[in-house]
């Protein structure tokens, strides 16, 4: 006999399982995103700020978002931390290269992030 209480518990469990982000479902597969900055003036603070926002969005895209679930969030935080560190290093190189006039061609002005 299925009671309303049992049905509610089953429904909530099913909803929680369906709510897992795609990044968690495919955690064993590497996720990749490219961040283009060919349209930005990286010698300006405004251009750098836009690149920083793009990096933050890309880190979230490959690692997922914090969902207030301790077990899941721990893995997301670790992924974000590692991926953000790599992105920051690439960002700093891009800004330094821009300031030194050592620009790559427009089609190569991107940062590629990969998270596992």
Q: What is the mean pLDDT of the chain?
A: 75
Query: pLDDT by residue (tens digit) across 21-76?
Result: 444 444 567 888 999 998 999 999 999 999 999 999 999 999 988 888 777 788 88
Has residue 91 got a pLDDT over 50?
Answer: yes
Give the residue extent of every domain in the chain: 4-115
Host H or E run for residue 82: helix 70-99
Has residue 18 got a pLDDT over 50?
Answer: no
- Mean pLDDT computed over 102-109: 56
pTM for the full predicted model: 0.67
| Euclidean distance between CA atoms 86 and 91, whole angstroms | 9
pLDDT at 108: 65
């Amino acid at each position: 006999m299925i009671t309303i209480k049992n049905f509610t518990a089953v429904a909530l469990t099913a909803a929680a399982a369906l709510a897992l982000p795609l990044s968690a479902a495919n955690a064993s597969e590497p996720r990749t995103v490219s961040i283009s900055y060919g349209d930005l003036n990286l010698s300006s603070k405004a251009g750098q700020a836009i690149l920083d926002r793009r990096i933050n969005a890309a880190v979230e895209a490959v690692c997922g978002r914090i969902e207030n679930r301790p077990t899941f969030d721990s893995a997301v935080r670790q992924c974000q931390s590692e991926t953000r560190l790599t992105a920051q290093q690439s960002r700093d190189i891009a800004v330094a290269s821009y300031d030194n006039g050592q620009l790559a061609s427009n089609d190569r002005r991107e940062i590629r992030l990969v998270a596992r």
